[in-house]
Structure 1
């Protein structure tokens, strides 16, 4: 076995590999960018090497710097994790050329599958059903899916439903693929909006043994990136399962594969399936396979790289496992990523981290962050993977939903609420979710009752907390020189303002037209409604108050009774909703635009985000250009607003002029 290993990655996958290495007595080496200098993966490795810079292109995508780091730290081998350079055959070859071991398949096998276009040709030749590449798209080929040839994870993927949109979407996909994988090559294939995404885990040694270690259903996706994965797939019967396994073995054998890999398929409603791609690395969702098999897939990767033989067959899977990916993003606003300080990060019931253990049921957490960490703009917004396994699917899904519903995550907006609602949705529970499921999944508004009671709890807890810091601490709590008037505290949520009126007396505190108040402290409040006690945990930070209860988690922003005046942006301004880099500006000063028309694109957390015009108008100022780094609230574009009728008239006039010029030149 290798004595020391460098992981050419960051976050939770680096920690996952370190976990197995420590159990085997292997020295661990981390690489870290400047924003990751204090990250968990950098702190817990035995050795660490700085990669100067902030962006992925400056750091984790620099093969030369990573190899230099491995040699400087005395590492014997490199594990690529997933993402970044994990499927880059040139990087793998450079590692080997430097005299280091490579924890993965051969560069030749990676090259064969690294080009999604070439891999489809190879699989077709091996008899595996494929969705063909569309070379010259026409109307009959719609809808199309643009994909990055060099990677996955949703980066560089775009659905095109109109040919007129193809050039713009190709440009965006190429830019995203280049930022994520260092390769802008993309291609088009037919898009099946209602298929099931089913993949097969394979393991193969250099002695000819190929394992198929169960299948995973990864159909619940947004932006073509997986959100919930499970094994076994709920709608795959035994005949289809065996055909998928056979196709996966054919794929691995066709390229002489070694190591851990995943063969991905799209399964149609009629049971037909098509090869999508082969990921020549460990998958993000590998924990669900470990949970039902008891295998340590990272350990098997290391043993295969050492030249060990696999046993003739893998262990039979037992029970069911389901994984949810927790992201710092807002599903209600097109999954916009969020940055900030992670003030609290607590998920109850976790029995293991980075391993599934041998118990018949449990909860596992794989995460690269902890409370106090800064969630920045440079990398993927995934905070953690939470995995539940149990003897049955219903038990596993219920356990995961219950744990997430009781989680306390403060400081950034997350998809936590959506995950819970999906896991409890009847369609998902019946196994009916396909790849189009989240696109039509409703964005539920906050429960007004939950928000109201949470605001009451926040107001009362704030009153107690304020009492502790009062100048005249000997006065009764809530003392006023006009005791008949109730006190008022106001909070804002995403879409409303909540006012709470209450008064203190010798008998305690009472809410005007509200619930009966029980025990109150600075961080916990009990309220009784219809004889039912509700307990609320209250946490106050500089910018917001978080209230957690069995009703849900609510973020409240206290309204300052004496608001400070400050500069405001011009009316009609388009402001940056997040920190990021402007990658493209689609308009010029003087252009007339309609409400919702794309004005520019901002890159943040390895994804491009289209920013539309907030209203119809004329571009008065452009305050940003391609390449600019911007902070939240930065004014990017100033609009002189006009009525929609005026925009339509101007567009009609422009089209009339164009037609006249075409007639003149005809």
Structure 2
């Protein structure tokens, strides 16, 4: 076995690979950009080498620097993780030329499957069913629109070299095609250095099912069953599970054998995923499925396969790359129970899943839980967290905003769902926006709970998944008030002038607390008693006392009820976590100076740091509500800034190529 490997990646996948390598006694070398000098993956590896500036093109995409680091540290092999150079055939070839083992498939297999167009042509020759579409080399916009018109709308534009939901656009009608194509090509060029696209018929209610395959250098190839990745936003996966709900043994075998045939057709070696879309059928599985693409790497969602098989896929990668045969044959592989994975992202679901940047000032996670039945089957844990960041780390605009992957296992899907809900309730994130609350609603929603799955689930059930803001409960207000009152206790008990007990000779001291949230304003009164306080709200009164405080964790008694939660303060913001929910309150301190908030009329600001890639408006030109004004690129995704109403652009403040900071005014706009 290898004695030292270099991990050419960052974040949670670098930490994940390092954990298996170290368990096998293999030393690990990390590489890092200037932005990641203090990152978790640097800390968990045995050695670390800097490779460049923060932008990926100047660091994690610099194959020459990564190979030089491997040679300098005496590494024998390079594990690429996923993303970055994991599916770059030139990098795989360069590793071989340098005498290094690339822990992935042969360059020829990457080349054959790396282009979605070429892969579909290959599968078509092999008799694998394809979605109707155009996968050729002619990229003339007028020609591509003619193909789309012939296929019939809606169609899907997809970057040929793409992945991760980038460079994809759904086009509903012919009139929108050219603008969508231009945007798709810009994003594809920025993310992959290749603006070639393909056009496919867009299935309105497809299931996204992928097959995990594994091949060795001796001709062995197996499939490790399927994963259902249908629940997506912006063409990126949100929840994954294994096995796929409703999958019959016959269909599993058919899809598995098709995936193995695809892998063998390109001389595949290592871990790979063959992705299919399957037609939705109201009467159960109808057996029809279509090849979509093959990912020639380890997938983000590989842990759910590990949970149901009890296997370590990274260990399999290392053994196969070292020249060993596959550890198991097809007939030795079995499915145990059900697993779910939720991707915890720094993003704001209520704002179109806009990525969020900032520092993780407070991060609490559910503990990994060993489960007796799971342990007996050789499974790692009932609750598993793969994370690349810690409390105090920053989520920067340079890379994917993933905080962690939360994976759970249950004896069946119902138990896994319950465990996922419980685990999500244990997540506390402060410092930036996260999708934890959205994931809770999604997991508990009727369509997901009943496995009514397809790639449009989130859009179709948007109203239920994005309910209007709910006002803070009395429990939340009580915890917030107790936290503030506890912070007023004197440092020196013998200093009467610092005593905040509120004692009065006659009568009771009463104070008013005002908290604002997305649902409005809430005002409560607090009366000071000889022991604790009295909370008064809407004519009701209840005794309030602080029983215990341990950092942000509070135990409070409100009347006869005992409340437990955490309160974290950021300036005037109070983050209250209780009963598995996160409430964000703004405390309006009457003693503080009320700052004047700048009116935003006539301003359109950058929602996050990024670069201007297109200016679509003209100074002095009238526009209608919703018209695109300019396009920003941030975290490798494009974000269109649209007119908030009918009006006129008075001034453009930035040009194409300009970098802008979060909150920067982009243009002056006058409403009609």
Change (3 A) 1:472 1:440: farther
2:585 to 534, 556, 560: 556
Superposition pairs of residues 518-557 of structure 1, within 5 angstroms: 518-520=544-546, 523=552, 524-528=554-558, 531-542=560-571, 544-550=573-579, 552-557=581-586
Change (3 A) 1:635 1:129: same
Question: Which residue pairs with 1:265 in the alignment?
Answer: 276
| Partner-residue secondary structure (3-state), 2:78 | strand
| Partner-residue secondary structure (3-state), 2:133 | coil
User: Does the 8 A contact of 1:88 with 1:150 survive in 2?
Assistant: no
| Residue 341 of structure 1 pairs with residue 374 of structure 2 | no
Show structure 1 runs of 5+ residues with no match: 643-666
Change (3 A) 1:360 1:62: closer
| Residue 373 of structure 1 pairs with residue 393 of structure 2 | yes
Question: Which residue pairs with 2:154 in the alignment?
Answer: 143
| Residue 464 of structure 1 pairs with residue 475 of structure 2 | no
Which stretch of structure 1 is more off in the superposition, 228-237 or 559-568? 559-568
Question: Which residue pairs with 2:112 in the alignment?
Answer: 112
Change (3 A) 1:479 1:142: farther
- The separation in 2 between residues aligned to 1:560 and 1:581, in whole angstroms, is 38
Question: Which residue pairs with 2:417 in the alignment?
Answer: 397
Change (3 A) 1:168 1:473: farther
- The separation in 1 between residues aligned to 2:170 and 2:335, in whole angstroms, is 35
- The separation in 1 between residues aligned to 2:565 and 2:193, in whole angstroms, is 48
Question: Which residue pairs with 1:422 in the alignment?
Answer: 442
Question: Which residue pairs with 2:304 in the alignment?
Answer: 288
User: Does the 8 A contact of 1:215 with 1:233 survive in 2?
Assistant: yes
- The separation in 1 between residues aligned to 2:56 and 2:46, in whole angstroms, is 23
- The separation in 1 between residues aligned to 2:300 and 2:580, in whole angstroms, is 31
Change (3 A) 1:84 1:318: same
Change (3 A) 1:67 1:256: same
What is the CA-CA distance between 1:594 and the residue it aligns to?
Answer: 2.0
- The separation in 2 between residues aligned to 1:49 and 1:383, in whole angstroms, is 23
What is the CA-CA distance between 1:592 and the residue it aligns to?
Answer: 1.3
- The separation in 2 between residues aligned to 1:359 and 1:99, in whole angstroms, is 36
Superposition pairs of residues 490-509 of structure 1, within 5 angstroms: 490-509=514-533
Question: Which residue pairs with 2:457 in the alignment?
Answer: 437
| Residue 516 of structure 1 pairs with residue 542 of structure 2 | yes
- The separation in 2 between residues aligned to 1:466 and 1:139, in whole angstroms, is 71
What is the CA-CA distance between 1:98 and the residue it aligns to?
Answer: 1.8
User: Does the 8 A contact of 1:572 with 1:614 survive in 2?
Assistant: no
User: Does the 8 A contact of 1:572 with 1:615 survive in 2?
Assistant: no
Change (3 A) 1:481 1:559: farther
| Partner-residue secondary structure (3-state), 1:534 | strand
| Partner-residue secondary structure (3-state), 2:148 | coil
| Residue 234 of structure 1 pairs with residue 260 of structure 2 | no
Question: Which residue pairs with 2:426 in the alignment?
Answer: 406
Which stretch of structure 1 is more off in the superposition, 98-107 or 63-72? 63-72
1:475 to 495, 499, 503: 499
Question: Which residue pairs with 1:195 in the alignment?
Answer: 206
Change (3 A) 1:56 1:166: farther
User: Does the 8 A contact of 1:328 with 1:414 survive in 2?
Assistant: yes
Question: Which residue pairs with 2:629 in the alignment?
Answer: 599
Question: Which residue pairs with 1:654 in the alignment?
Answer: none
RMSD in angstroms over aligned alpha carbons?
A: 2.4
What is the CA-CA distance between 1:498 and the residue it aligns to?
Answer: 2.7
Which stretch of structure 1 is more off in the superposition, 477-486 or 554-563? 477-486
- 1:251-288, Cα deviation, whole Å (9 max, x unpaired): 11111111000000001024310000000000000001
What is the CA-CA distance between 1:352 and the residue it aligns to?
Answer: 7.3
Which stretch of structure 1 is more off in the superposition, 363-372 or 407-416? 407-416
Change (3 A) 1:559 1:203: same
| Residue 88 of structure 1 pairs with residue 104 of structure 2 | no
What is the CA-CA distance between 1:590 and the residue it aligns to?
Answer: 0.8
What is the CA-CA distance between 1:527 and the residue it aligns to?
Answer: 4.8
Question: Which residue pairs with 2:315 in the alignment?
Answer: 299
| Residue 155 of structure 1 pairs with residue 155 of structure 2 | no
Change (3 A) 1:618 1:307: same
- The separation in 2 between residues aligned to 1:385 and 1:230, in whole angstroms, is 13
What is the CA-CA distance between 1:143 and the residue it aligns to?
Answer: 0.8
Change (3 A) 1:543 1:485: closer
| Residue 54 of structure 1 pairs with residue 54 of structure 2 | yes
Change (3 A) 1:347 1:565: closer
What is the CA-CA distance between 1:115 and the residue it aligns to?
Answer: 0.4
Question: Which residue pairs with 2:45 in the alignment?
Answer: 45
**Structure-2-length-normalised TM-score:** 0.90
- The separation in 2 between residues aligned to 1:629 and 1:494, in whole angstroms, is 31
Change (3 A) 1:499 1:387: same
Question: Which residue pairs with 1:275 in the alignment?
Answer: 291
2:235 to 206, 224, 229: 224
Change (3 A) 1:52 1:305: same
1:322 to 340, 345, 349: 340
Change (3 A) 1:329 1:491: same
- The separation in 2 between residues aligned to 1:428 and 1:329, in whole angstroms, is 21
What is the CA-CA distance between 1:372 and the residue it aligns to?
Answer: 0.7
| Partner-residue secondary structure (3-state), 1:265 | strand
Question: Which residue pairs with 2:476 in the alignment?
Answer: 454
- The separation in 1 between residues aligned to 2:641 and 2:504, in whole angstroms, is 49
Change (3 A) 1:209 1:488: same
Which stretch of structure 1 is more off in the superposition, 385-394 or 607-616? 607-616
| Residue 312 of structure 1 pairs with residue 312 of structure 2 | no
- The separation in 2 between residues aligned to 1:327 and 1:579, in whole angstroms, is 17
- The separation in 1 between residues aligned to 2:399 and 2:525, in whole angstroms, is 43
- 1:599-658, Cα deviation, whole Å (9 max, x unpaired): 22222222111222223221112222222222222111111221xxxxxxxxxxxxxxxx
- The separation in 1 between residues aligned to 2:259 and 2:71, in whole angstroms, is 36
**Structure-1-length-normalised TM-score:** 0.91
- The separation in 2 between residues aligned to 1:72 and 1:41, in whole angstroms, is 19
| Partner-residue secondary structure (3-state), 2:111 | helix
Show structure 2 runs of 5+ residues with no match: 135-143
- 1:30-76, Cα deviation, whole Å (9 max, x unpaired): 11111111110012211111122121222212222222222222221
| Residue 576 of structure 1 pairs with residue 606 of structure 2 | yes
The count of corresponding residues between Structure 1 and Structure 2 is 639
User: Does the 8 A contact of 1:4 with 1:74 survive in 2?
Assistant: yes
- The separation in 2 between residues aligned to 1:496 and 1:459, in whole angstroms, is 17
What is the CA-CA distance between 1:293 and the residue it aligns to?
Answer: 0.9
User: Does the 8 A contact of 1:198 with 1:264 survive in 2?
Assistant: yes
- The separation in 1 between residues aligned to 2:496 and 2:95, in whole angstroms, is 68
| Residue 21 of structure 1 pairs with residue 3 of structure 2 | no
